Structure 1
Amino acid sequence: MQAEATAPVAAGERLGILDALRGWALAGVLMANMVVFIGFGYASEAERTAALGSQLDDAAELLIQWLVVGKFYSLFSLLFGIGFAVQLARLEQRGEGVPRYVRRLAVLLLIGLAHLFLLWMGDILALYALMGGLLLLFRRTSDRALLRWAVVMWAVPIGWSALIHLAGLNAAQPIYGAAMRGLTTNGVDLNISAATWFNGANYREQLAIKPAEVLLRLGDLTYQMRFTKVLGMFLIGLWVGRRALFAATPETRPLLARTMRFGIGIGLPLSFARAVLGMVAGDDGTLNFVEEALYCLSTPTLALGYAAGFCLLWNDGWQRLLAWPAPAGRMALTNYLSQSLIQILLFTGAGLALGNVFGLAFVIPFTAAIFAFQVASSGWWLARWRFGPMEWLWRSLTYGRAQPMRLAAPAIVAT
């Protein structure tokens, strides 16, 4: 019985629909992050104009901001909350519960910090681990109260934005100031664009500015009030996980259909308005506030619409198509971290230095190529081993012993 109480979830216990949705979310996160890595996010106007295909930048920016940015990390956050509900229930059935989950979060925090200090300032794992700790406080909260708290968590950033843009109270500014001083101390020329600097910086030079980048990341998280946004999606995911709404049973199907219609019907136009406004707002404080308020209204709404629509299609016979990225979803941690490494090697001076070479429209084919490779390689790996490399490390540290890795016999994994 002891062995059963200290074992991770077996492959046969996994929920294929969640692995597949996690895979699609991973693709969306890759595309959103590549906006920065490819150079567009940090490039000067002259550098953007000189890039290949720059005449398509406006159309690509509109589409990506409208349909992708924010929505897929919100899907990831939703899935984290669902996973929390499922995993905690299983742990409690095994007589474990909160202590094991706290250890799981502590390991995730260490992995996130390593990602943050060694690869990329845009890490989300450390934040997930910290907010996951707060999620434990809601594990006994009623379903209705969970939804009320989720609404509050997404309303907080609207008020926060009003303080910044309408009242001039920006708590992130001192953090940004400290980060800028850290960059100059390490010899970064602030008169050139960050895209140009990264395109010429080798890995050792990039590593030297990581502490300053961590401060920049903290400033961004504070400015956006990303903390409550993530926790808000966690809470919705916890609610969904308790009810197993993703199964689209006859009992849950009407609610999923209403969620899809509302989420897409409201989220799409609001997100479009936000994307357009974000491209023209400039430094106008009032327009910046309106744009950020629209983000808070449209992003969780559209993400929920995506998720509900996915669940309905999954149960309407679209599984073969929708399940394509499931192997990548089963290895989401490994693939998320490897996406940072791949993009560093492609787009910075640590590798091919292709930053600033391509316009924003190239994000789409680059994302398709990288993610197709990840799906194929994940399928190959999982046909031979039980876990992805980082998943194995995470589970082994969580359970305090090395987990068996190799499958008893090669399995066939659909890719």
Structure 2
Amino acid sequence: MQTEGAAPIAATERHHILDALRGWALAGVLMANMAVFIGFEIASEPERAAGIGSQLNDIAELLIEWLVVGKFYSLFSLLFGIGFAVQLNRLEQRGEGVPRYVRRLAVLFLFGCAHLFLLWLGDILALYAVMGCVLLLFRKVGDRALIRWAIFLWLVPIGWSALIHFADINLADPIYGAAMRGFAAQGIDLTMSPAAWYNSADYAAQLASHPSEVLLRIGDLTYQMRPTKVLGMFLIGLWIGRRSLFAATATTRPLLVRTVKLGLGIGLPLSLARAVLHMTAGDNHALRFLEEALYCLTTPTLALGYAAGFCLLWSGGAQRVLAWPAPAGRMALTNYLSQTLIQTLLFTGAGLALANVFGLAFVLPFTAAIFGCQVAVSGWWLARFRFGPAEWLWRSLTYGRAQPMRLARPGDIVAA
């Protein structure tokens, strides 16, 4: 029976450490995405060489591929799983449970579709919503089985990569082909000059091409077998959320220490090898398979090492420094979407068209400037309002009524 007066959770029920970790993950996602927005991923070698500071491109690419790419999205996936455990438990205590959570995921899927079709093909929200529904199937699975499933799901893409490179079986190819036919129907040839199309000021024409871009995204997710990777991190997060392992206590500290040692000790050197292969493998199928296999092995281990190290530092006296981005983490949906909007206005033809003007090393100062502003604005906003704008809409649609927005007093209800 549904409990009357269902509403988001109160501020006193939140875990500040998760907001802070989510904030740092958001900064890492911004950096990884900016490597695309700044034009580096689509530029030809002459275009890359013409950018300001291009002499630092190689070292910047190595560092980003080594320490950033994949790791912070994996942290987000981990936090999603933790949040799932916490939220579903509270919903069930209120007598709501799965139906309310499915509605929450449906609204998130709509956000993702709007992000995909109106702004950028790199959206992750729609995939999170779909895999969140799959995650519901695991809510009664035991802890040991969760870990086994998580490991299996991260190993599946290795076999998938072997089929692509050694058996010439690539189910992403037909999807890529359909996308290219869609572009061709509009007179767009991305193989000739993708940067020129990216810098086009004709937003209406770009908007018309977004369905084809969505097909490119689906093809990319299929090639990477990203759904299993995301679900694998969801399951680890669910396991952590059940046990509240994100808090470094006398009981959890030994496990966190082991996770740091294994995660960083194995993840850092192997991820460095993977980054080198990413930059040098070219069309060599054996090397590309090795690079993709190392990605599957190192990304979750390094992400878990980051998370465990963060928890240990938090309890060891660094909380004041680490908590700096917590306001942005509380408004993660708003900030994730606004990052796309800001980068679109900075780097594409819809705005200042700065793509390929700067070398890849400028990702760091641009990320610091944008994210610093987001943290400041988020702090200002949350001192006055319960929710970020996107979070307010998400929760209002989830609960079927407009949520009270203005903050009446400190400690009132905030975004979950």
In which range does the TM-score fall when normalised by the shorter chain? Answer: over 0.9
Structure 1 position 249, deviation (Å): 1.2
Structure 1 position 189, deviation (Å): 3.0
Paired amino acid for 1:375: V
Q: Corresponding residue for 1:99?
A: 99
Equivalent positions of 1:9-408 (< 5 A) are 9-408=9-408
How far does the alpha carbon of each residue in 1:267-304 deviate from its partner, in whole angstroms, 9 at most, with x for none? Answer: 00010000001100000011000000000000000000
Unaligned 5+ runs, structure 1: none
Structure 1 position 199, deviation (Å): 1.2
8 Å contact kept, 2:3–2:95: no
* Number of residue pairs matched by the alignment: 413
Paired amino acid for 1:320: R
Structure 1 position 5, deviation (Å): 4.7
How far does the alpha carbon of each residue in 1:13-39 deviate from its partner, in whole angstroms, 9 at most, with x for none? Answer: 211000000000000000000011000
Structure 1 position 191, deviation (Å): 4.5
Structure 1 position 3, deviation (Å): 7.3
- Please state whether the residue corresponding to 1:233 is helix, strand or coil: helix
TM-score, normalising length: structure 2: 0.97
Moved more, 89-98 or 374-383: 89-98
Paired amino acid for 1:119: L
CA distance in 2, matches of 1:124, 1:83: 17
How far does the alpha carbon of each residue in 1:344-402 deviate from its partner, in whole angstroms, 9 at most, with x for none? Answer: 00000100000010000000100000000000000000000000000000000000000
8 Å contact kept, 1:264–1:302: yes
Moved more, 302-311 or 248-257: 248-257
8 Å contact kept, 2:11–2:411: no
CA distance in 2, matches of 1:14, 1:187: 51
Q: CA RMSD in A?
A: 1.5
Moved more, 73-82 or 205-214: 205-214
Paired amino acid for 2:62: L
Structure 1 position 197, deviation (Å): 1.4
CA distance in 2, matches of 1:375, 1:4: 35
CA distance in 1, matches of 2:78, 2:47: 37
CA distance in 2, matches of 1:86, 1:44: 46
- Please state whether the residue corresponding to 2:356 is helix, strand or coil: coil
TM-score, normalising length: structure 1: 0.97
CA distance in 2, matches of 1:285, 1:204: 39
Structure 1 position 205, deviation (Å): 2.1
CA distance in 2, matches of 1:282, 1:315: 44
CA distance in 2, matches of 1:289, 1:254: 35
Paired amino acid for 2:362: F
8 Å contact kept, 1:5–1:96: no
